[in-house]
Structure 1
Amino acid sequence: MLQLIIDYDENDDLSNINQLMMSLDENQNKIVLQFEYVLDEEKAPNINDAFSKYVAQRQTSGVTEKNKLFHSFMERYQSHFFNEKIKSRNYDALNQPETLENTVTIKRSELDLNEIINFRCIDAKRLVGNDTEQVLSQLAARYYEYCYKNKRFEELEAGQEETEIELEQKLAETDASLTSIYDKAFDNVFTKIKQMGIKDDAIELQILSRLKADNLLKDNTKVKYLNEQGHQLPENFNGLGYLNLLNILFSLEIIITEFKRDNLQAKNTFKKPANINILFIEEPEAHTHPQMQYIFIDRIQDILKEMQEGSKAINLQTIISTHSSHIVAKLNNYEQIRYFRKNKQDTTVKHMKDLESEYNALDSSGRSYRFLKQYLTLNSAELLFADKAIFIEGTTERLLLPTMMKKIDLVNQDKTPLLSQHISIVEVGAHSQLFAPLIAFLEIRSLIITDLDISIIKPAIKDGKPVCAKDGTPKMTTEKERYISSSSEQLSTNTALEHFFPQCKSKALDSLVGLSFENKLLIKSDNKWISDQKGYVRITYQVMEEGYLGSSFEDAFFHLNRNFMIEIIDKEKNKQIDKLEGLKNRAYFTQIKEDKFEYDAYDLAEHCVNRKPALAIDILLNTDIESDNWQVPLYIKEGLQWLQN
């Protein structure tokens, strides 16, 4: 069943829909068209016997074979047993059983639906293959037929009238020239015919040229490309992307004419445009590079806007289906987006404007939603097309993540490789909470990799003296600090963790460290994030590993891979590799004091990183996947394994 809900107001022409209006209430401005494809009540008792006979004639047994036969039976005979029904429903009674008062069955003979709704589609199966050499030539002929030949003379637009007259004059001149040539070419044949005894006063034969513009375009012209050297190249030499977009633009011009209905109809009568015109454009991004997609969507939006302005404006709604993040990123209005997500049993459809409402409920200033739109436009509209997502905090993780994913894939070869899955990676800093409503909206499996950012609250000191407020109470300040197991005063300054785990009061570190793997699986319920083993969001941050708890990625990485770092520093010293641009204070990695390293991983992360992006590149350049010469921190490994499964 399909229901179309149509709004109208006092400015609309109601002549085509008056018989569909089910309410005289002046405040009711909706009509509902309901389309059904149902089993015919009279033929229903016969369908089982007909199918049994169909099976018996094919002498088939077995459930599997019968299932296959049922599909072939229905494909062949469904039109015999099923009928289309069109109904008008009272909008206020949609949730009530159908009655004579709220539902009217419409016969097709009594209602011309084409006067109410006009559908046109530029589908994805456009003729743009390299083996099709005259796609544009064929479209050019169709374009002329719709935009010139089938228009009344007075309907021709500016410039078209002169073009039409000039073309007719040239064709008349060419007809006269060709007729003269034909006289000479057929003179020998006509002379012999006369010699067959035909009377002199019999009708004299003559071959006349009658050229028609549409036939000329259809059979005798080709679209060519001119390159910079002036050479004429076949239309399929310029790439499928250009061919695809030119195909769309030609088709669009033809459809515009059809929507406006200013081409000739039966007996030279002309109709007004339908009340509602709906245009579908399927996957316009086919074969095109991102820059061309940006230009296309900009131009299409302009063309469609022009159709709804001026004296010849029509009521047009356009639906563009796309898998292109580039097209989505260039949309003028994100609220126009409808997000389709296919589940195992059905497909859910969500409106982006509903997402705006969720953001505004959290932040009435609208800043968070504006940030999201800007971020998606500039960076990550591909998130809307992903099956899974990874939200990471920093540049180091972003650069190293593909290699870490490959390491997981090599270990878990019985699983679908992470690098083969449709996973979008988004760098969000320590602000993943700003994406929380979007994650809940998309309902895609999401891994948030963030940092503990361990700190401690201390009295503020200036010039060696405590700093106090006006009332004499000491001022407090937050300082970064390495993990101290005996300290109950340490906390996390990561606001994202506070958002997702509000039960961890004041971001107390011991409560965050104490959360189990299951507690970090979340689902949104009643506008709150709660732990759930079936959760689609996994929050991962540093965990205790080899008796050590890191505060940041670099902290955890250096603790786990100190030997790897020492090895590449030695190679740099011996000039076996290029200079390590991401490091400074290299001696800190090996400096010994009292039979142990003087500087721990926290010190190395604080004092030995020159530039984080360069550090990641240093690690990648010295990575040996086969020997597995460095380890993935446990918290990231656990998160990636969860995401892979």
Structure 2
Amino acid sequence: MKLKKVSIQNYRRFIETSLSLADDVTLLAGANNSGKTSLIELLENILNSSKTEFCVSDIPVTLSKEWVDQAYSIFINHFEKNDDREKTIQAIVNDLFCLDGAPGKEKLLILPTVVRLRVDYETNEEMGDFADYIMDLDLNHCSIYFEYSFEVTSTTFSQSLDKDFEKLKSRYEKLSGEKDQNTKMGFFKEKILGTYVSSIIEKCYFADRQFQNKNEMELSHFRKLFNLYNIYAGRPLEDQNVGHSKSISKNVLDLAHHDDAWKAFLGALPDKILQPIEELGITDIVRKVSVDGLTETISSIAQANGGNTGSIMLDLEISEETISSLISQITHAKYDLQGHYLNETSQGLGYSNMIFILLQLERYKRNIDPLLVNIFIIEEPESHMHPQMQNVFGKFLKKYYQEKKIQGLITTHSSEMVRVTEMKNLRVARPTTPFISNIFDFSSFKESVSKDPVLDNFYDWFYEIGFSDIVFADRVIIYEGDTERMLIRKLFSLDDFAVLNQLYIAFVQVGGAYAHNYRTLIEFMGIKTLILTDLDYNKASKTESHIRASGTTNATINNFYEITHPETKPTVADLYEWKKNEGNILFKGCAYLNYQGEKDSFARTLEEAMLAKHYKLTAVEEKSREDWINLRNVDKLKFTIPQEEGQYTIRDIVEHTSKGKTDFMYSVILNNLTKNMLPDYIEEGLAWLKK
């Protein structure tokens, strides 16, 4: 049996999302506060815990605020009537649950937290207890469905309201004061919400695939179907010779207890230890010393008990349990390094973390029950590891899960762990709003691009190069050359763009011929992406009319323009107009494609736009060679001027500087000209990215 899908509704940051799981190992990646830990805690609570602690914070904040704001007036109205306790409670419950059946009224309840699970099985598998819960007898759909919900009933809410009535009434009465009205209202709403949550109960059902026909089952019976183990992110490790926890030693010893030879050895050991003790008379000595030392005192005290206490002495009882405890205390893990024995704290936390995880995996493997759903979770295995160790360990874990046939779920915020995981095994948790997260299933993404051989090949290559940076990014900037990255990195240090410097921004370098391939990924993840590219019109165009009539060779611009203007090859004039009308804001506002516009003085590249802005020239205006030399000397910029005397445009200068673009950008930055030479199209793009 395999756990194939978990669907979640209305739990913390998840309003409606689902997690599909691979048969071997699934990697759930995401930045901090994206919901990874919440999902693991939910699984742990419903599959392992005997009682789930459901809290106010488990309800999505948008749902709880909306409900309490509406319920507040109902509570106020009925407390104002000053009826007796029983009548007030009944009236509030009636209004929230519509018990009077009045037409047109709807229940005022928070949407329940619901978790739906799909378990798949093979037709030749022994089903055990699962056979009782199969509702779809279809050989083409070998799945079993369960629903676990956190619900409120009128009965449980009435009971909670009765329990909290005096506290609620006390907070209501304080509202009549003139001071701190907002604070007191907040306290009252807080208590209303707390009363609601305390009335939530857990229920579990087995169902058909549409979850229409549901049958309630015992929670304990449901949990017995799963063998889930979780290595928490906050696991105990040591790299100092302090304390006595010795986590690795204990885990190695615990693993040894599963060995048959070890069990036989422990069973025989007590008798072997007792034999020399008896031969040396140690037991008699212990007994005699204890009697001689304590008899007189015990006899005096015994008089208070009628003299029937008897004497006290020490005796030796050596059992398998006491021997096992002794061995546990005196056994320590050692690393044998070229004949030198190093203790378990000698290798640092990263190595200890890796060994700890492997020991837990080995122990779990021996406890797998083929009649249950077995799943092993590791939270953030990369903890305390440097990037190369993360990469190597990630590859090992992937191979281990596959070879040992263990189904696993790993959470991570490591780019290296993502890099060594196949795309089909990757799931990404991302915030979509400040209070809501979603899980993006890259098995479905991979399947969608596989239908296009060009895209499929592109993403296979890109996945190994820079994909992992996008997974964790708040924003993405797609750019063409190193000079763009240098310029933008420097801009982030300025006050005008400080807000961007606080975000995780993925920089993806790609030529204009390929940037449009990212459309599929941008749309799939809904990640805010700035695409900076060059206008690249025919550089032989030297007059305004020729420039406006010229087309562009930039494949990304042409492909994205075609989305709204099919079968049209745009001119520069069309592209200027497209920008003016914000047609270059794409994919429902997720992407902003920007290139040199009219404000950039007919520039067709970054360097042309920078020089045009600095010298207040168009890209095609001419200056003498001597003028360019004087400008370069004054500004200390690194650009190349043709050797022959004559009149030259900015375009001529940039063309001759083509092999020294990096030096040019360094000179801009080191001479503090970054802001002065910032092209309008880049400034527009970064302003959009800040929103």
State the TM-score, normalizing by the size of structure 1. 0.73
Map of 1:58-137 to 2, 5 A cutoff? 60-61=174-175, 62-70=184-192, 72-73=194-195, 78=198, 81-91=199-209, 93-94=210-211, 98=212, 102-108=213-219, 111=221, 113-114=223-224, 116-128=225-237, 133=242, 137=246
- Residue in 1 that maps onto 2:38: none
| Pair 1:176–1:429, CA change in 2 (3 A) | farther
The 1-side partners of 2:348 and 2:519 are apart by 42
In structure 2, the CA distance between the partners of 1:300 and 1:63, relative to structure 1 (3 Å rule), is same
1:506 maps to 569
User: What does the per-residue CA deviation read over 1:615-637, in whole Å, with 9 as the maximum and x for residues that have no partner?
Assistant: 434444x2327xx6742111111
Matches within 5 A, 1:144-543: 144-145=253-254, 147-149=255-257, 151=258, 156=259, 161=261, 180=280, 182=282, 186=286, 189=289, 192=292, 207=316, 212=322, 214-223=324-333, 230=340, 232=342, 235=345, 238-258=347-367, 260=368, 272-308=369-405, 316-331=406-421, 333-344=422-433, 345-360=435-450, 363=452, 366-407=453-494, 410-411=495-496, 417-430=499-512, 431-455=514-538, 480-487=539-546, 489-502=549-562, 503=565, 505-524=568-587, 535-543=589-597
Higher share in helix:
2
* Shift in CA distance, 437/191, structure 1 to aligned 2, threshold 3 Å: closer
**Secondary structure in structure 2 of the residue aligned to 1:486:** helix
Tell me, what secondary structure is at the counterpart of 2:384?
coil
Distance 1:439 1:49 in 2: 52
CA–CA separation in structure 1 for the residues paired with 2:266 and 2:414: 42
Shift of 1:188: 7.4
What is the alpha-carbon distance in structure 1 between the residues aligned to residue 195 and residue 438 of structure 2?
A: 31
- TM-superposed CA distance for 1:252, in Å, is 2.0
Distance 1:375 1:486, change over 3 A: same
Matched, 1:570 2:633: yes
Gaps of 5+ in 1: 261-271, 309-315, 456-479, 525-531
Structure 2 contact 530–593 (Cα < 8 Å) conserved? yes
Query: 1:21 — aligned with what?
Result: 134
Measured against aligned partners, the alpha-carbon deviations of 1:581-634 in whole angstroms (never above 9, x if no partner) come to x7544768xx6x5xxxx21111111112324344434444x2327xx6742111
State the Cα deviation string for residues 51-72 of structure 1 (Å, max 9, x = none). 3323236775432011333455
The answer to which structure, 1 or 2, has the higher relative contact order (CA under 8 A, 6+ apart) is 2
| Distance (whole Å) between structure 2 residues aligned to residue 187 and residue 204 of structure 1 | 6
- Over 3 Å counting, the alpha-carbon distance change for 1:185 and 1:233 in structure 2 is farther
Checking the alignment, whether the CA contact within 8 Å between 1:623 and 1:630 is kept in structure 2 is no
Shift of 1:295: 0.9
2:75 matched to which residue of 1? none
Counterpart amino acid of residue 186 in structure 2: T
The code of the aligned residue for 2:397 comes to I
Q: Partners of 2:275 and 2:312 in 1: how far apart?
A: 21
Q: Which runs of 5+ in 2 are unaligned?
A: 1-113, 176-183, 300-310, 617-626
Identity %: 21
* Cα distance change of structure 1 residues 631 and 551 upon mapping to structure 2, 3 Å threshold: same
Task: Please give the TM-score of this superposition, normalised by the length of structure 2.
Answer: 0.69
Residue 357 of structure 1 deviates from its aligned partner by 4.0
Worse-superposed segment, 494-503 or 558-567: 558-567
1:340 to partner: Cα distance: 2.0
Question: Counterparts of 1:439 and 1:172 in 2: how far apart (Å)?
Answer: 71
Aligned-partner Cα distance in 2 for 1:569–1:181: 101
CA RMSD of aligned residues (A): 3.8
- Could you tell me how far 1:165 is from its partner in structure 2? 5.8
Equivalences, count: 539
Q: 1: CA distance between counterparts of 2:208 and 2:356?
A: 42
Alignment of 1:623 with 2:671, yes or no, is: yes
Partner secondary structure for residue 144 of structure 2: strand
How far apart, in 1, do the equivalents of 2:481 and 2:524 lie?
24
**Quick check: 1:38–1:83 contact (8 Å CA) kept in 2?**
yes
The answer to which of 15-24 and 429-438 deviates more is 15-24
Shift of the alpha carbon at 1:517? 4.3
Native 8 Å contact 2:335 2:343 kept in 1: yes
